[in-house]
Amino acid sequence: MDAIFNVIDIIVAIIGPLSDFLWGFPTNFDWYSSIPVLGEFSFSTILLVGSGIYFTFRLRAVQVSMFKRGIHVMTKGYKEKYGISPLAAFLLSSGIRVGPGNILGVTGAIAAGGPGALFWMWVSAFFGMATAYTESTLSQIFKERRGSEYVGGLPYYAKILCNDKVWVGVIAASAYIVYSVCGIPVDSFNTVTGIAAVGRIVTGVDFPVQSDFYYYVSAFVIALVAFMAFGGVKRVTQASEFMVPIMSCVYFATVIALILYNVNSVSYFFNAVFSGAFTPDAMFGGAFGSMLVQGVKRGLMSNEAGQGTITMAAGAAGGNHPCEQGLIGAIGVFFDTHIICTLTGFIIIMAHRWTADPTWQTAETYTKFLSSVSSLTPGTIESIVLLLLSICFALFAYTSVIGMVAFSEVSAKRISNHKWFIQAVRLLCVFVSAFGIMSSIAGYDLSRMWAFEDLGNITIVYVNILMLYLGFKYVIKATEHYGNRNPKGNEIFNSEQVLGIETDCWKNKE
């Protein structure tokens, strides 16, 4: 095992600096970083946020004007025999969106930039909704039917938009698989630690990492990941339909109860967020740019708008019009950031632990979150609240794992549809899940592997944003057609008539 760790460290030593350079460019140059405020934003961040602003204005704020219609689409019945329902696609994408980042990311953003970072997280997510709408609509336009399933997303629309070049789709698909392979180990171990936290609260015993309890929990999690992986996208979708509503409702209800119990601090929350957004607290560095960057970066990390990592869920859905799933994608960003992340923000800001506890800033991120929860909770029910939130954390991590497994399979089908290849990708996902869990138990720092994930992610970002601009003319035409369509009508969307191109699933839609 040590030999494997040494090899990983050698590779990370090469990939890490490259990944940091690409994500940070051009902030890694003194001439740029010395520019006030702007110098703290990397090109990738400007590209993602700027694209969201551009899409918002070109689409006439579709995330606002058609939000209600999107809710109607998501909740209506689904009777088609192909693909999954819009609601199932929303829950599948939420399974990977609503992950540990909704707790750790928000806590980290506020700890580094102050309460005002949450405001800029909201702003970036608002524009990100338009980006998510664009990429989800493209996923629908260029999806393909494989048996009784639809497959789509970045690897599929990238291929078509680049003059049907197969190698472009293969590169995009490979980039996502690399991204998943590097993300699965961390979230797999987060699942184990979440379950361990539940066990500690129930039994009152603080189990060491290298103990029988951790070994049993690890074996259980690995078995669950394998069960989902070899059940295919359909099984993962069914699991997401079951788990995502439960974990979201439990988290929502628990945090709302804490807010109501501490209702006198609600006014402080809003004052801290809105005043802090423009007058940063000196305790957090006092720099407007730093606080702004924290909100934007953490928001993008959580909702993933524009990264292309959620597009496979949109492509798997059926429907009467491509823009229906575009609206679902926009609502997904709203749900992730403006609801789930905001709930975490209420806990961290209302607790105000950064002045009450000198050790708060230096503690681990999850410890920061738990200490904030404890300070807002009556002692008589503290264990119950911590238990519920620990269950949510474990489910957040697990749904992220199986979501990445499912999307890896969809991406793999762009490379090859042979059964042996799909099985190999499934096995790879299970292997890296087990590797991540056992490596963490053995004491290896999995954060070193983030260099691989970051490199895969930045590759996806640049490829995806380019594809969105190449295909945006089709999104504009589809949106105009959808806007002129009777919301309750059943008019057929024909790609040749509306877009002037022939697509696999919309050329002769029955």
Chain segment 299-348, per-residue pLDDT in tens:
666 677 778 878 888 888 888 889 989 999 999 999 988 998 999 999 99
The CATH number of 1-29+38-482, from 1.20.1740, 1.10.10, 2.30.42, 2.60.40, is 1.20.1740
pLDDT (tens digit, 9 = 90+) per residue, 460-469? 888 889 999 9
Peptide bond between residue 86 and the one before it cis (omega within 30 degrees of 0): no
- What pLDDT was estimated at residue 291? 61
b/e per residue, 339-368, with b = 16+ CB within 10 A? ebbbbbbbbbbbbbbbeebeebeeeeebeb
Confidence of residue 60 (pLDDT cuts 50, 70, 90): very high
- What pLDDT was estimated at residue 461? 83
Cβ-contact 475, 138 below 8 angstroms: yes
SS3 label, residue 286: coil
- What pLDDT was estimated at residue 483? 81
pLDDT (tens digit, 9 = 90+) per residue, 16-42? 777 778 777 888 788 887 887 777 778
The string of DSSP letters for 207-275 reads: --SSSHHHHHHHHHHHHHHHHHHTTHHHHHHHHHHHHHHHHHHHHHHHHHHHHHHTGGGHHHHHHHHHH
- pTM, to two decimals: 0.89
Cβ-contact 323, 499 below 8 angstroms: no
Higher pLDDT, 499 or 331: 331
Query: Residue written as tokens 């760790």?
Result: 5
Q: Average model confidence (pLDDT) for the chain?
A: 83
pLDDT (tens digit, 9 = 90+) per residue, 477-496? 999 988 876 655 556 777 78
Give which of 172, 60, 106 is closest to 407, Cα–Cα.
172
Tokens of 87: 């609601």
The domain segmentation of the chain, as residue ranges, is 1-29+38-482
- What pLDDT was estimated at residue 259? 92
pLDDT (tens digit, 9 = 90+) per residue, 69-90? 888 888 876 666 777 788 888 8
Residue 84 gets which letter from DSSP?
A: B
Tokens of 40: 């703290």
- Cα–Cα distance measured from residue 465 to residue 200, given in angstroms and rounded to the nearest whole number: 44
